């Protein structure tokens, strides 16, 4: 599934033609303290035709964090990339959550987080969702804009998604 979008890991990639995702639920309703949103394509959580999606967002870091982790959930399978490097590969055919230390993949300036996910287990019906949240620790006082981007669970991902070609 780790097919890529040519240029999609470049921060200057134009995703303005992508459809907005549908927000399905607040992850914090299930995992206290989280602010990420469960999302899927414009067809919604139970679409029978939009069973794969891509999401991406660009965020800027004035300084690098001491540590940074991504926690994500894919129903069913997915791949997550930081600046073009795959950091999560979840292909167990079930809805699962993953953690990854992404500290070494971040750079000063623009960073791109992107994922693709597929619901390929129709036994329970098509019941799609995906989410990602990045949490980071900064030395001293972090720049408010950087901390806000990371702490909001990359909510901007809900604004960018592309319908997969069948």
Total tally of structural domains belonging to the chain: 1
The answer to whether residue 95 sits within a structural domain is yes
Helix and strand numbers, DSSP H then E, in the chain: 1, 10
- For residue 47, the surrounding DSSP H or E stretch is none
For residue 41, being part of any structural domain is answered with yes
We report the CATH number of the domain holding residue 119 as 2.60.120.260
Residues with Cβ within 8 Å of residue 141, at least 6 apart in sequence: none
Q: What is the pLDDT of residue 100?
A: 96
**pLDDT at residue 120, rounded to an integer:** 74
Say if 14 falls within a structural domain.
no
- For residue 156, the enclosing domain spans 22-161
Distance CA 94, CA 19 (A): 26
The reported pLDDT for the residue numbered 153 is: 45
Query: Is position 38 within any domain?
Result: yes
For residue 7, being part of any structural domain is answered with no
Q: What is the pLDDT along the chain (166 residues), one digit of tens a residue?
A: 445 666 778 888 888 888 877 888 899 999 999 999 988 866 666 666 667 888 888 999 999 999 999 999 988 889 999 999 999 999 888 888 999 999 999 999 999 999 988 887 665 555 678 889 999 999 876 555 554 445 444 444 433 344 444 4
């Amino acid at each position: 599934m780790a097919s890529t979008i040519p240029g999609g890991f470049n921060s200057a990639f134009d995703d303005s033609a992508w459809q907005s995702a549908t927000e399905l639920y607040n992850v914090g309703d299930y995992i206290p303290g989280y602010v990420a949103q469960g999302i899927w394509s414009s067809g919604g959580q139970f679409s029978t035709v939009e069973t794969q999606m891509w999401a991406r967002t660009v965020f800027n870091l004035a300084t690098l964090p001491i540590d940074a982790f991504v926690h994500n959930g894919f129903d069913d399978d997915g791949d997550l990339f930081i600046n073009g490097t795959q950091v999560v590969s979840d292909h167990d055919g079930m809805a699962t959550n993953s953690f990854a230390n992404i500290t070494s993949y971040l750079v000063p300036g623009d960073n791109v987080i992107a994922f693709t996910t597929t619901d390929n287990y129709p036994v329970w019906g098509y019941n799609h969702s995906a989410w990602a949240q990045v949490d980071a620790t900064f030395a001293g006082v972090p720049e408010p804009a950087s901390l806000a981007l990371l702490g909001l669970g990359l909510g901007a991902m809900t604004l960018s998604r592309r319908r997969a070609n069948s």
